Structure 1
Amino acid sequence: MTNEIDFAWPFAPRGHGFAEDVLDGLSRSEKRLSCLYLYDAVGSDLFDEITRLPDYYPTRAETDILSAHGEEMLGEEMLDGAGEDVALVEFGSGSSRKTEILLERAPRLALYAPIDVCGSALEKARVRLSARFPHLRVTPIVADFSQPVALPEDLAGRRRIGFFPGSTIGNFAPDEARGLLLAMRILLGPGGRLIVGVDLKKEPSRFIAAYNDAHGVTAAFNLNLLARINRELGGGFDLSGFGHQAIYDEREGRVEMRLVSRRRQTATIGGRDFAFSRGEAIHTEDCYKYAVDEFRAAASGAGWAPGRVWTDAEALFSVHELRAPAAGPGAIGSAASF
């Protein structure tokens, strides 16, 4: 049995369901689809393939950081012998591959609660991790972590460490990112900690190579969103009529992914026709990049105390430790019911 955490979510819900969001997004003057819907079972597998590509540096760099500094990130709770009272909560866990690096370094950890929208990916991860770490209780939660989440009751009374890898924070506009960090602080509770991956600003050419790979895997990942609409909503998209595009907007500090119409065409979804002119784009994802000080300021604005920061040897990627204040008189958002 679970209960909703009892606080007001700090930003508006991102949508009401796949069909409603698709129809709404394609009805806008500047067509847009939520990146949340990129990650069905097919999309999740394609993204795993992307993370293994030579030019996709974020996964490789973050893995190096976690391997080199994992003990420091989890050490306090594990070294004091109280690991049995600690739970690791991961936001947007996917295959949980990077999480294994931390789990290897946390033999006393009592519970791992991965949160993801893809139930099949969660189940694969649960089976794999339960076999590798038989002492560990793995409790998957199928949910959109950007919305209020119901946590298992056995997290009550445990200290919580949040894990938010993969620079997923960059998929949120700055105001949304601060709101999400605030929600995570409340969810993890007084004295909680958050370990979060953040992609760093760098030469634009590195971004374009990473988000527009020569093997076409990122293009297939992006186009799968249209294929998913066809599969699940009876859509009429001709995938050959759209091309993948990735650009870096230096002023906004973000990579933008789009699907660009190659010709004038019409797609029918749910009995509604959507016309596309040649060159018209569907905006599918934003990936904001930060300097270290920029992200620390954003975290402070959400009530976190920024802690240690780790980077890889090339300073391509960063992992930040954030600390929630302990409970006390006047603490904002300190109470959560489970």
Structure 2
Amino acid sequence: MEQQTLISEIGTDTLNGLSASPKYLLSKYFYDDQGSSIFQDIMQMPEYYLTDCEFEIFSTHRKQITNAFKDGVQGFDLIELGSGDGLKTKVLLQFLMESSVSFRYIPIDISHKANVELVNSLKKELPLLNVSAQTGDYFQEVKKLNGHSGLRKVILFLGSNIGNFSEEEIDLFFSQLSGLCHQGDRVLIGFDLKKSPDVIMNAYNDSHGHTEKFNLNHLLRLNKELNANFNPANFEHHTEYNPETGKVKSYLVSKTKQTVSVGDLDTDFHFNPWETIFMELSQKFDYQGIETLAQNHGFKVVENFTDNRNYFVDSLWQKI
């Protein structure tokens, strides 16, 4: 029992995932410093349409989005969950500053490195911006902020991060988010929309190998943080998309019979040839489903902002 208390959260989650049948690992652990760096490469790919779509949305609709944020209040806290490098958000931040809007920008990310780099870049690009970066779990950090300033909260959850959650996790996420919002608070959430399966597969099974590297880095993280001995060369990356359900699923597949030891867990995990580890879900949505999610969790949809191809939507909700 004493040993159990010494196992880290990532250790517990890894033990649970690799002991399950079928095996899985949690996608939230993709984003260590190396994983965050690889994801920047993914976002730069021409096939990865999500970044371009959201950048287009912010560039095209920044005035309407800004007006919706500040509607009826003198100032607000702009809180971004999973801010990363802030590439797209900077379009909004620039316009907000040019419009003399009173706000404080609070980026929250699990990667300290990403936060440091974001703050440093903002100091150069927007030196007058009031920015207060927080490193840690989204909801723990928002809870610390809740009510402190007395200002409206405008919470950003961009890049279709919500698509990585299971249906149960989506329900939990929005329940927690709703619980932290006061009446009139706003949330702007990115949803990747259903579209041609070919477009989706080119983005999630790219020929450059970035997505495969991103998945395999999870194993390298376990080697480093849990004293495991995964050989990434013994696994290959596989992705599938179901246009009916809108689910993209990615796996690592064991190419051989092998045993992997995880020293910090004092446990061996056995793999059969072509056995899978489920790595990530990327859910695609439609407008009806988005409307239902908002209504079920105490929000109303104020406006949907989309790109000209209707690939992606940033949906603005208000707490009711």
Under a length normalisation based on structure 1, what TM-score does the superposition of the two structures give? Answer: 0.86
Q: Does 1:56 align with 2:58?
A: no
**Superposed CA offset, 1:128-148 (max 9, x none):** 113322222211121222667
Which runs of 5 or more residues in structure 2 are unaligned? Answer: 1-6
Asked if the contact 1:179–1:302 (Cα under 8 Å) also holds between the matched residues in 2, the reply is: no
Quote the residue 1:309 is aligned against.
304
1:294 to 271, 285, 289: 289
Under a length normalisation based on structure 2, what TM-score does the superposition of the two structures give? Answer: 0.91
Quote the residue 2:3 is aligned against.
none
**Superposed CA offset, 1:96-141 (max 9, x none):** 1111011011122431111111111011111211332222221112
Aligned in 2, Cα 1:210/1:76: closer, same or farther, shift over 3 Å?
Answer: closer
Q: What secondary structure does 2:93 align onto? A: helix
Q: What secondary structure does 1:73 align onto? A: helix
Aligned in 2, Cα 1:153/1:174: closer, same or farther, shift over 3 Å?
Answer: closer
Q: Does 1:91 align with 2:84?
A: no
C-alpha displacement at 1:80, in angstroms?
Answer: 6.8
What is the distance in 1 between the residues matched to 2:163 and 2:173? 11
Pairs within 5 Å for 1:181-196: 181-196=174-189
Q: What secondary structure does 2:153 align onto? A: strand
Asked if the contact 2:73–2:152 (Cα under 8 Å) also holds between the matched residues in 1, the reply is: no
User: Match of 2:27, as an amino acid?
Assistant: C
C-alpha displacement at 1:318, in angstroms?
Answer: 0.9
What is the distance in 2 between the residues matched to 1:188 and 1:140? 20
What is the distance in 2 between the residues matched to 1:146 and 1:26? 27
1:231 to 186, 210, 224: 224
Aligned in 2, Cα 1:309/1:16: closer, same or farther, shift over 3 Å?
Answer: farther
**Superposed CA offset, 1:135-178 (max 9, x none):** 22211121222667443478421111111110001111223213
Asked if the contact 2:76–2:152 (Cα under 8 Å) also holds between the matched residues in 1, the reply is: yes
What is the distance in 1 between the residues matched to 2:77 and 2:267? 47
Q: Does 1:163 align with 2:156?
A: yes
Q: Does 1:283 align with 2:313?
A: no
C-alpha displacement at 1:16, in angstroms?
Answer: 6.2
Q: Percent identity?
A: 33
Asked if the contact 2:194–2:243 (Cα under 8 Å) also holds between the matched residues in 1, the reply is: no
C-alpha displacement at 1:79, in angstroms?
Answer: 7.3
Asked if the contact 2:252–2:276 (Cα under 8 Å) also holds between the matched residues in 1, the reply is: yes
C-alpha displacement at 1:18, in angstroms?
Answer: 1.0
Q: What secondary structure does 1:67 align onto? A: helix
Pairs within 5 Å for 1:1-338: 17-78=9-70, 82=74, 85-107=75-97, 108-145=101-138, 149-152=142-145, 155-270=148-263, 271-325=266-320
C-alpha displacement at 1:44, in angstroms?
Answer: 0.3
User: Match of 1:281, as an amino acid?
Assistant: T
Asked if the contact 2:229–2:262 (Cα under 8 Å) also holds between the matched residues in 1, the reply is: yes
Aligned in 2, Cα 1:291/1:140: closer, same or farther, shift over 3 Å?
Answer: same
What is the distance in 2 between the residues matched to 1:306 and 1:86? 19
Root mean square deviation, CA, Å: 1.9
User: Match of 1:143, as an amino acid?
Assistant: G
C-alpha displacement at 1:67, in angstroms?
Answer: 0.8
What is the distance in 1 between the residues matched to 2:231 and 2:267? 16
Quote the residue 1:329 is aligned against.
none
What is the distance in 1 between the residues matched to 2:241 and 2:110? 27
What is the distance in 2 between the residues matched to 1:244 and 1:304? 38
Which runs of 5 or more residues in structure 1 are unaligned? Answer: 1-14, 326-338
C-alpha displacement at 1:95, in angstroms?
Answer: 1.3
What is the distance in 1 between the residues matched to 2:235 and 2:305? 39
What is the distance in 2 between the residues matched to 1:155 and 1:139? 14
Greater shift, 255-264 or 141-150, is seen at: 141-150
Bigger fraction of residues in helix: 2
Asked if the contact 1:165–1:195 (Cα under 8 Å) also holds between the matched residues in 2, the reply is: yes
